[in-house]
Chains A and B, each alone.
Chain A
């Protein structure tokens, strides 16, 4: 799976949009971009994933550049409860059943939402 690079930490004011970047310049054609977050002392939580089109769900939006070498997770109106470590993960989806897969976490971005 391709390696990702994320800033170590970011701050965001409550109510503002939080834009978390991720660089994945070695991504290959069959690899998806996944985002998870981990709030202190809890298990990681799935947020969103995408291949090449922009995606939106009730939690966030994912913007993937046309060359797919980078992406941005957008939390449109950050709240204090969004303070967490956000992980960008690139991995391939296999179409073969019976093959095991791994979700490998990088160091992530520690997002601090402040009043």
Chain B
């Protein structure tokens, strides 16, 4: 298995809802990442997990809460989002926090719409 799987592919949520995005990989990668991508813009890093511990938080608002239950799973819990949080949320993984010959493997993303 050489993929990063993200679910759901599409999500519409109200500003008072609580929802979660899920990311899964079975490549034995020990680093996992969340990126946010607005339309026609490059992906922006949100969080980095390394060996199941949060390594980098790019000053992301607390309404986004990451969780890494084990080395294969990465969740992003969403609460009280704003319409401007609507974006494509991408998950990625790499062999470790210093990807060598294989780079990062990205999922196809979850397209989130906040109404």
Please give the residue numbers on chain A whose beta carbons come within 8 Å of chain B beta carbons, in ascending order.
34, 36, 38, 41-46, 49, 85, 87, 93-95, 97-108
Contact = CB atoms under 8 A, between A and B. Distances in A.
B69 interface: no
Nearest to A107: B42
Contacts of B43: 38, 44, 105
Chain A interface mostly helix, strand, loop or mixed? loop
A99 B50 CA distance: 8
Nearest to B4: A43
The 7 A-B pairs with the shortest beta carbon distances in the complex, nearest first, are A43-B106, A100-B55, A46-B103, A105-B42, A100-B97, A100-B48, A44-B106
A12 to B, nearest CB: 21
B45 A102 contact: yes
Interface of B: 4, 31, 33, 42-45, 48, 50, 55-56, 88, 90, 92, 96-109
Contacts of B55: 100
Given A43-B109, A108-B42, A36 B103 contact: yes
Contacts of B90: 43-44
A104 to B, nearest CB: 7
Contacts of B100: 93
